[in-house]
Amino acid sequence: MSKTKAAPNHFIKAIAGNDVRNGQYPEIYTRFPPEPNGYLHLGHAKSICLNFGLAKDLGGHCNLRFDDTNPEKESTEFMESIRASVEWLGFEWDRLCYASDYYEHLYGFALELIDKGLAYVDDLNAEQMREYRGTLTEKGKNSPNRDRPIAQNRDLFERMKAGEFKEGDYTLRAKIDMESPNFVMRDPILYRIRFAHHYRAGDKWCIYPMYDFTHCISDALEGITHSLCTLEFQDNRELYNWVLANITIEQTITGEKGKTLPRQIEFGRSNLEYAMASKRKLIQLVNEGHVSGWNDPRMTTLVGLKRRGYTPKSIRDYCAEIGVTKKDSTIDMAILENAIRHDLEATAKRVFGVTDPLKVVITNYPEGQTEGFEVANHPKDESLGKRTLNFGKEVYIEQDDFMLDPPADYFRLGPGREVRLRYGYAITCNEFVTDDAGKVVELHCTYDPLSARGKTADGRKIKGIIHWVNADEAVGAEVRVYDRLFTDPNPAAAEDFTALINPESLTVYPNAKLEPSVLSASAQDRFQFERVGYFCFDEEDSEMESGKLVMNRTVSLRDTWGKQNR
């Protein structure tokens, strides 16, 4: 198995490398900080590869930390799925952390800010708060509660924690600057009251810390050196630094004292064309039944890509390929497809599979005769071994490989035309049988007994080569072929993105015929159906034991002929 592409150099690696070299930090410590409120998708993969990859490249460490401070949206299900996806991608965290484990610390730091006169309890309601905050052009106004005495703030905050007030009655705010041009600094809320059950903390708390207060402190507690996040948090960096500068945080939970405070660096998001990265909209796709679930193979969630047959390596390579910059980007689908094709080309066993079968009777082949052709499982990798393909009087070929009235540059089968059955004999089509609707349902062909092993007795060249499956031992399967989920490259921009769902994103071939060797494969095996594409067993619907095979097409083979005829 080839190694994952080395992550190219990017500006964050340059900064971090420098910080280590000049002794600013003894070693790099990063973290991947998802909120357990949904499933991970390709966008998260970029962040995972960045954070874990940076630590690995520079000899540091990386934590997986759940940023779980909003009990109403978070769940154990999401948390566990995220954990599994990070592992599946192939990364190992140094420590598994939860912001919810820091609630007690956080509360203590809030008290410290109150005691320093840097935080106050406010009773403005949400609407009033918005009015006081100002607008893009108007500065904000100080809350009437801004100069509440410290002792009273402390009393009120303790009572908030004790559950004496209703949700929305009070908040704890930092006392910074209502006239700041940066909204984030206009006395941001630090704590709000929520009588909600937390999936980990249970009912212990009824006040929950906000992101801006929690994240920087969590980073500092864990000894994070480089806190990497996406561009939209650039404004929040000022608050991140303000909080850390105004609390006494000299000891990390790893026990090392006096560490330099973490530094936040932002990078641009990458969106895939024809896909959806917004968690909210992903949830909508699932809840409204537009897809079968979070792991629908058309979804660009990590569980969806996994079920589709993408390998962890291909996702890592994709992330290395798209790079890390300060610019939001829209990635061409072809880059993702290239990554998985590249991996599977090298590793997938070759097999014959006919998705849409057309029966062929070899009229001059002796009744009851069979013969075996020993073939390689991979054209370039002998270690993948060999297998025997049995040939007989009746075979299935692909409907696409026969045309009633083929153009000159179509070098497959047509009336009177000759083609080679790959690894087997050359056959010529003499007759075709149609059903009542005029559809071709069977071909009568003759074979050339002297055409085995790629040769012909008279030296004639046969350009067309097609795959086939012996009808006697063909294994039935359901083959699912996927296309992009949306018809528009940027569905997120539409008012109603559900109107842009591609009606042809899933095509089912219920009567596919596969060569019998797939029955002895293991559930995780991936195949190349020669001339068709890369396939895997569907992890939900395939039942290997009972022989019920459901195959997902991960990606097609590159098809220059099909493309020019599109």
Partner RNA sequence: UGGGGUGUAGCCAAGUGGCCUAAGGCACCAGAUUUUGAUUCUGGCAUUCGAAGGUUCGAAUCCUUCCACCCCAGCCA
Query: Which residues are known catalytic residues?
Result: 35, 269, 279
Write out the binding residues for RNA, residues 376-395 only, by CB under 7 A: 378-380
- Residues in contact with RNA, counted by CB under 7 A, come to a total of 93
Q: How far apart are CB 432 and RNA at their closest, in Å?
A: 18
Residues 93-122 that bind RNA (CB under 7 A): none
Q: Of the candidates 354, 336, 362, which has an alpha carbon nearest to the alpha carbon of residue 431? A: 362
Least distance CB 564 / RNA (angstroms): 6
At 173, is the secondary structure helix, strand, or coil? strand
What residues contact residue 550 under an 8 Å CB cut-off, 6+ apart?
Answer: 477, 478, 479, 480, 537, 538, 541, 542
Contact 422, 468 (CB under 8 A): yes
CB 540 to RNA: min, Å: 27
Binding segment toward RNA, per CB under 7 A, in 18-26, 300-308, 330-338, 476-484: 330-338
Which of 155, 345, 483, 525 binds RNA (CB under 7 A)? It is: 345
- Nearer of residues 296 and 414 to RNA, judged by Cβ: 414
CB 356 within 8 A of CB 509: yes
Segment lying near RNA (by CB under 7 A), choices 76-84, 145-153, 308-316, 319-327? 319-327
Secondary structure of residue 191 in the 3-state scheme: strand
Q: Which stretch binds RNA (CB under 7 A): 3-11, 45-53, 305-313, 360-368?
A: 3-11
Give the Cα separation of 251 and 255 in Å (integer).
Answer: 6
According to DSSP, the residues that pair with 182 across neighbouring strands are none
Do 50 and 267 touch, CB atoms closer than 8 A? yes
60 vs 424, beta carbon nearer RNA: 424
Pick out residues in 31-50 that bind RNA (CB under 7 A).
Answer: 33, 35
Q: Which of 454, 476, 510, 547 binds RNA (CB under 7 A)?
A: 454
Could you tell me the sign of the dihedral formed by the alpha carbons of 14, 17, 24, 256, in that order? positive
**Alpha carbon 434 to its chain's center:** 45
Our CB check for RNA shows the closer of 294 and 423 to be 423
Please, which residues have CB within 8 angstroms of residue 321's CB and are 6 or more apart in sequence?
Answer: 5, 335, 338, 339
* Choices 89-97, 415-423, 469-477, 497-505 (CB under 7 A): range interacting with RNA: 415-423
Minimum CB–partner distance for residue 239 and RNA (Å): 9
**Residue 436 CB, nearest distance to RNA (Å)?**
29
Residues 124-143 that bind RNA (CB under 7 A): 124-126, 129-130, 133-137
Residue pair 228/267 in contact (Cβ under 8 Å)? The answer is yes
Residues 429-448 that bind RNA (CB under 7 A): none
Regarding 422 and contact with RNA (CB under 7 A), the answer is: yes
**Could you say which residues in the range 192-221 bind RNA, by CB under 7 A?**
192-194, 208, 210-212, 214-215
Dist. CA 375–CA 371, nearest whole Å? 13
Task: Compute the least distance from the CB of residue 193 to RNA, in Å.
Answer: 6
Q: Which is nearer to RNA, 345 or 394 (CB)?
A: 345
Q: 40 with 301: CB under 8 angstroms?
A: yes
- Report if residue 499 touches RNA, rule: CB under 7 A: no
Q: Is 235 in the site for RNA (CB under 7 A)?
A: yes
Question: Shortest approach of RNA to residue 360 CB, angstroms?
Answer: 16
Output 65 or 480, the one with its CB closest to RNA: 65
Q: Which is nearer to RNA, 69 or 301 (CB)?
A: 69
Say whether residue 453 binds RNA (CB under 7 A): yes
Q: In the window 274-303, what residues touch RNA (CB under 7 A)?
A: none
User: What is the distance between the alpha carbons of residues 458 and 416, in angstroms, rounded to a whole number?
Assistant: 18
Kindly identify the residues of this chain, within the stretch 47-66, that bind RNA according to CB under 7 A.
Answer: none
Residue closer to RNA (CB basis): 296 or 343: 343
Q: Which of 96, 151, 162, 231 lies at the binding interface for RNA (CB under 7 A)?
A: 231
Work out whether 245 is an interface residue with RNA (CB under 7 A): no
Among 157, 365, 423, 482, binds RNA (CB under 7 A): 423
Question: Are the C-beta atoms of residues 121 and 170 closer than 8 Å to each other?
Answer: yes
The amino acid present at 214, given as its one-letter code, is T
Query: Residue 309 or residue 323: which is nearer to RNA going by CB?
Result: 323
Q: Which is nearer to RNA, 318 or 509 (CB)?
A: 318
Start-to-end Cα distance in the chain: 35
3-class SS shares of the chain: helix, strand, coil, % to 5 = 30, 25, 45
Stretch of residues binding RNA (CB under 7 A), selected from 52-60, 80-88, 109-117, 422-430: 422-430
Contact range with RNA by CB under 7 A, out of 55-63, 146-154, 420-428, 544-552: 420-428
Pick between residue 26 and residue 334 the one whose CB is nearest to RNA: 334
Rg for the chain, CA atoms, rounded: 31
| Contact in structure between 377 and 350 (CB atoms under 8 Å) | yes
**Beta carbon of residue 559, minimum distance to RNA (angstroms, whole number):** 6
- Of 65, 60, 52, nearest to 95 by C-alpha is 65
Burial 179-210 (b: 16+ CB within 10 A, else e): ebeeebbbbbbbbbbbebebbbbeeebbbbbb
Distances (CA, A) of 50 to 38, 106, 154, 220: 20, 28, 41, 19
Tell me how crowded residue 486 is: count the other CB atoms within 10 A of its CB. 22
Q: What are the structure tokens assigned to 341, written together? A: 């094709």
Q: Which of 79, 65, 86, 88 is nearest to 37 (CA)?
A: 79
Helix axis angle, 312-322 relative to 42-57, nearest 10°? 80
Under rule CB under 7 A, residue 405 binds RNA: no
- Tell me if 546 contacts RNA by CB under 7 A: no
Instruction: Tell me, residue by residue from 500 to 539, as one string, x for binding to RNA by CB under 7 A and - for no binding.
Output: ----------------------------x-xx--------
